[in-house]
Amino acid sequence: MNLGLAKAIQLGRQIWGYALILLAMTVVLTWLFFRMESVSPIEHLNYSRILGELHSANEEVNAEALASRVELSRNYDKLTASMANLQKLGLAAKELPGFVLNADASQMDEEALKLQVLMTMQVQLVENFKRKNAVLRNSQSYFTTESNKILGENLPENIRRPFEHYVRHIHEFSRDPNDNYLHKIAETRRQLANSQIPNNYALDLESLLLHGDTIERYLPEVNDSVRQIRELGIAPKISELGLHYKLAYDDAMRAADNFRRAMYVLALLLVGFLSYVFIRLESSRRLLAGAHKELRFLYDAQVRTEKRLLLHKTAFENSHDGIVMTDAAGNVMEINPAFTRITGYERAEVVGRNPSMIKSGRHDQDFYAAMWKSINSKGCWQGEIWNRSKYGEIYPELLSISAVRNQLGETTNYVAVFSDIRELKEQETKLAALAYHDALTGLPNRVLLSDRLHQAMSKVARTNTLLAVCYLDLDGFKPVNDTYGHEAGDSLLKEIAQRLEDIIRGGDTAARLGGDEFVLLFALDKLEECEKAMHRLLDAIQQPIQLEEAEVQVTGSVGVTIYPTDSSAPDALLRHADQAMYIAKQTGKNQFRFFDCESDFQIRTKHDSVSHIEKALHNKEFVLHYQPKVDMRRGAVIGAEALIRWRHPERGLLAPGEFMPLIEAHDMNIQIGRWVIESALQQLESWLDQGMDFKVSVNVTSQQLLSPGFVEELHALLERHPVGRNRLELEILESSALEDLSRVSHVIEQCRKFDVSCSLDDFGTGYSSLTYLKRLPVSTIKLDQSFVSGLASDANNLAIIQGVLGLASAFQRQVIAEGVETIEEGRVLLQFECDYAQGYAISKPLPVEQFSGWAANWQPDPSWQRISRLHWGSQNHLMFVAKIELNGWVSHLIRAAKSDLPLPKGLLVEQTQCDFCDWYYGQGASLYRSFASFLAIEAPHKRVHEIAKKIHIAWRNMQHDDVDAMLEELESQRAMVLKAIEQLEFDVAIDRKI
């Protein structure tokens, strides 16, 4: 804006300069205009006319002179008038037009002067002519008249003749001024003069001769005069003047033209200049307008701001809430009238001081500290505060303090707004009272009870005491109500309430829930106190009550639960107490009953879980996944174990461990089991339809097995799904079959009749595996995965497996190893003649859609294939063990070294302590010494020990870098050993020729 205005002002000043230029141009233009205009056509026309008229006037003069001479004109009026005109014109011709340039003017003046001279001469000549001509004319007239008269008279003859001749000659001469005639005239005149003239004619003749002489003399003179007039050369002079004038005119015109052109140019310049000035003016105006607009805008904004300010001021002044504005230091800058109204302090008393003067002293340091902390961190604080008014009155405020921050984040002011909430507080209290207490009896209501309960529970937790939660229901209240009316009932309730209040002690609570239901909370040190309290309570209730109408009596049924013995949530506690009360009512009333926790919990949980699972089953949220079982040796998929999964809508895919325990010993369990079997059968059918023949085993609990109608159901299922025969297998959890062995056995027998085989799952983990093996006619034993894992490096498990395998073969049961997690494990199992396996090394449980595809593509691991045709006699088993042991301890060592664990003692260092060495130098040597592979073992084996020793020392000496390097070598040496052993294994194996 400033720029625009400044520019406009600057332009405004420049305007004066422009005005000056404009003025100068106008002056020049005007001058040019006059110079241009000076070639006035009027003047030119006038002067040209004058010149023209000069010509004609001159001609007129000549003509008139001539006319006068020849008596064509016998008066001089015309000639005189023409002369006068000519004179006038001559004078007029001297007045040159103004536009004639000076050079030309001087020339023309010269010419005019010359003309004037000629004209002056002309005047003279003309006057002379007039005179002479008049005399001539006069004499001619007289001569003619007189001569005629005389001739008419009788003249003597001697005179007559010469007289006649004389007269005739004069007349002839008059007509033609010829010298001849002059001669004759002279002669005749002489004659006359010499003659004797009679006296009477003497005078007349004398005068006549005089006139004749005059004629003689004047005629040539007059002619000459006329000729002179005509040859004066005025006409050429006039023409010359005219020529000069024309030149002068042309010059003037040219000059005027130049002026005209100059004027035109100047006019254009003027227009251009004016345009420029106008443009500048316009831009100036625009700038001004722009500045004006800006100013306007700012002004409007200002006005708006002022209006807003006024508005804010109004708000500030008229607010019912008190407002204080302080500076950053907290000193009051401004207050509003409400502040004074509430606190009593006038403006002058507080401005510049800290509002802390109105502190009531009710709040501790922490309160104010927390308040300021909130203000400084969050920028505001709001809450109730008690302050002291000027007159010492302490009153509650609802206060909110805000920190005003500038753009840099620094606090510049604090604004506090507060309202006097005295009345509010009173009302609050009243309301609270109302909110928390029963209107009729004044006892705490349900809400307050809840609060009291919480408090009591936390107190109990703190002080290690007990809390009795008692649910009281009055017996016989309804009849009173019915008989005596509601008012009586109310009175009764009030009386009871009073009695309850009397009974309870300070920390206890008696509350009315509604109707004739009450809850009491007793704080107890010991459980025994409760009973006492209960008796007291029951006593108090059953005392007669005096109503207006009559005396009545009621009793109470009380249910009690003790917290924290009953460790439920508060509402649960009440519920328990209620349940107990219910029982009390049912068992005769006017008594109290304690709540039983345990069974309640179980029932509930179970109840909850079961319903969920029931729902899930209904919603088909369960699905079977199939973990393949394979024959490792033959490389074939023999079947799958069906494992239930729960596709939980919220929790995702749940394994059975996450939900099955919840329905343990519940009917739901059996339902699920039923579903599993049916689903498996359906799947078998489906696979068979696709041309795949698999066996499927499902897990069943002994509960299910022993559930009534299980066999029949199974039979019915098999009827519906005949494919299940010889394909369906039931896996019975070993431990679950504990209960009723004979019945389970019987069921298994029954199943066998349907061609449904059974297997013992997790074999080896139960207490009486051998008993099961003996008593249950299962066809398969599933070797528990706890024995299978770590098989490659844990010789202990190996021993067990050996045992189990031995047992199984003895009892002619099949064995399948569960939880085969590594290829090496599988290999070892194969070496020990355990061909069947399932586990993650083979596959995790697969969804149906993936199973058939997997089965089609599965190949046993190459290391299994290599030994599939091989057989080792039992004498070689030690070799296997030794290998495993070596592997084991080296791995152990490596693991320990890498993980900062203390190194395993014993085995490693000395060969003497190594079991592998025992075997190697013992049985191994005796059996296999002939084998090169056996001999190849020795060196790396020794090396292993050496390195191990070194590692041990280095470890002790904290030379960790060396340890790492040596570990590498250790591993490589071990690998060599293992390789050699492997070779040996191959060497000693027997081909099966299957």
Interface residues with other proteins (CB under 8 A) are 33, 37, 40-43, 46, 49, 53, 67, 72-78, 80-81, 84-85, 88, 127-128, 130-131, 133-135, 137-142, 144-146, 203-204, 206-207, 210-211, 214, 267, 270, 274, 278, 281-282, 285, 288-289, 292-293
Burial class of residue 79 (count of CB atoms within 10 Å of its CB; 0-12, 13-18, 19+): buried
- How many residues does this entry show for the chain? 994
User: Shortest gap between Cβ of 206 and other proteins (angstroms)?
Assistant: 8
Contact between 113 and 244 (Cβ < 8 Å): no
Nearer to other proteins, 130 or 576 (CB): 130
Q: How far is the CB of 246 from other proteins (least distance, A)?
A: 20
Q: Torsion over CA of 875, 877, 880 and 886, rounded to 10 degrees? A: -90
Minimum Å gap between C-beta 49 and other proteins is 7
User: What is the smallest separation between the CB atom of 143 and other proteins, expressed in angstroms?
Assistant: 9
Shortest Å, Cβ 400 to other proteins: 47
Rounded CA Rg of the chain? 78
Q: Which is nearer to other proteins, 33 or 754 (CB)?
A: 33
Query: CB of residue 290 vs other proteins: minimum separation in angstroms?
Result: 9
Q: How far is C-alpha 376 from the chain's CA centre?
A: 30
Tally of helices (H runs) and strands (E runs) in the chain: 33, 24
- Which CB, 146 or 349, lies closer to other proteins? 146
Measured distance CA(911)–CA(922) in Å, rounded: 13
Distances (CA, A) of 395 to 33, 134, 371: 98, 151, 18
User: Smallest distance, Å, CB 376 to other proteins?
Assistant: 52
How wide is the angle at C-alpha 143 spanned by C-alphas 142 and 146, nearest 5°?
80
- Residue 134 or 654: which CB sits closer to other proteins? 134
Residue 220, both tokens? 């040539």
What is the closest distance, in whole angstroms, from the C-beta atom of residue 105 to other proteins in the complex?
A: 20
CB of 175 to other proteins, least distance (A): 18
Residue 105's nearest CA partner among 247, 260, 256, 255 is 247
Rounded Cα distance, 465 and 526, in Å: 7
State which residue, 40 or 555, has the beta carbon closest to other proteins. Answer: 40
Q: How far is the CB of 401 from other proteins (least distance, A)?
A: 48
257: left (phi over 0), alpha (psi -120 to 50) or beta: alpha
Shortest Å distance, C-beta 170 to other proteins: 15
CA dist., res. 559 & res. 569, Å (int): 17
**Choice between 291 and 947, CB closer to other proteins:** 291
Is residue 697 a contact partner of residue 641, using CB atoms and an 8 Å limit?
yes
Contacts of residues 359-364 at CB distance under 8 Å and 24 or more positions apart, as own/partner, are 359/387, 359/388, 360/385, 360/386, 360/387, 360/388, 360/394, 361/388, 362/386, 362/394
Q: Where in 262-346 does DSSP place strands (E)?
A: 322-327, 332-335
Task: Quickly list H helices, 336-383.
Answer: 337-343, 347-350, 365-378
Which residue in the block uniquely carries the two structure tokens 């029951």? Answer: 538
Choice between 275 and 957, CB closer to other proteins: 275
Q: How far is the CB of 174 from other proteins (least distance, A)?
A: 14
Q: Which is nearer to other proteins, 149 or 774 (CB)?
A: 149
Q: Of 283 and 542, which CB lies nearer to other proteins in the complex structure?
A: 283
Q: How many whole angstroms separate alpha carbon 223 and alpha carbon 128?
A: 12
Nearer to other proteins, 22 or 398 (CB): 22
- What crossing angle do the helices spanning 877-898 and 795-810 adopt, rounded to 10°? 150
Give the DSSP per-residue string, 691-713.
Answer: T---EEEEEE-HHHHTSTTHHHH
- Strands 652-654 and 728-733 turn out to be unpaired
Token pair 């443009």 is found at 279
Instruction: Output 137 or 512, the one with its CB closest to other proteins.
Output: 137
CB of 52 to other proteins, least distance (A): 12
CA-CA-CA-CA dihedral for 827, 832, 836, 839, to nearest 10: -50
- For residue 118, give the nearest of 245, 228, 244, 247 by alpha carbon: 228
Backbone angles phi, psi at 354, to 5 degrees: -85, 140
- Residue among 206 and 987 whose Cβ is closer to other proteins: 206
Q: How far is the CB of 114 from other proteins (least distance, A)?
A: 21
Closer residue to other proteins, CB minimum distance, 33 or 582: 33
Q: In whole angstroms, how far apart are CA 876 and each of 93, 722, 788?
A: 168, 46, 20
Q: How far is the CB of 7 from other proteins (least distance, A)?
A: 14
293 or 743: CB nearest other proteins: 293
User: What are the structure tokens assigned to 276, written together?
Assistant: 């420029």
Is residue 922 within 8 A of residue 875, CB to CB? The reply is no
Shortest distance (Å) from residue 292 CB to other proteins: 5
Cβ at position 30, least distance to other proteins in Å: 9
Pick between residue 49 and residue 478 the one whose CB is nearest to other proteins.
Answer: 49
Kindly tell me which of 146 and 251 has the beta carbon lying closer to other proteins: 146
Query: What is the rounded distance in angstroms from the CA atom of residue 879 to the CA atom of residue 146?
Result: 211
Going by C-beta distance under 8 Å and a sequence separation of 6 or more, which residues neighbour residue 201?
150, 153, 155, 159
Question: Where do the H-state alpha helices sit in 153-198?
Answer: 157-175, 179-194
147 or 852: CB nearest other proteins: 147
User: 94 or 877, CB closer to other proteins?
Assistant: 94
CB of 57 to other proteins, least distance (A): 8
Q: How far apart are CA 864 and CA 867, in angstroms?
A: 5
Could you tell me if 709 and 739 are in contact, meaning their C-beta atoms sit under 8 angstroms apart?
no
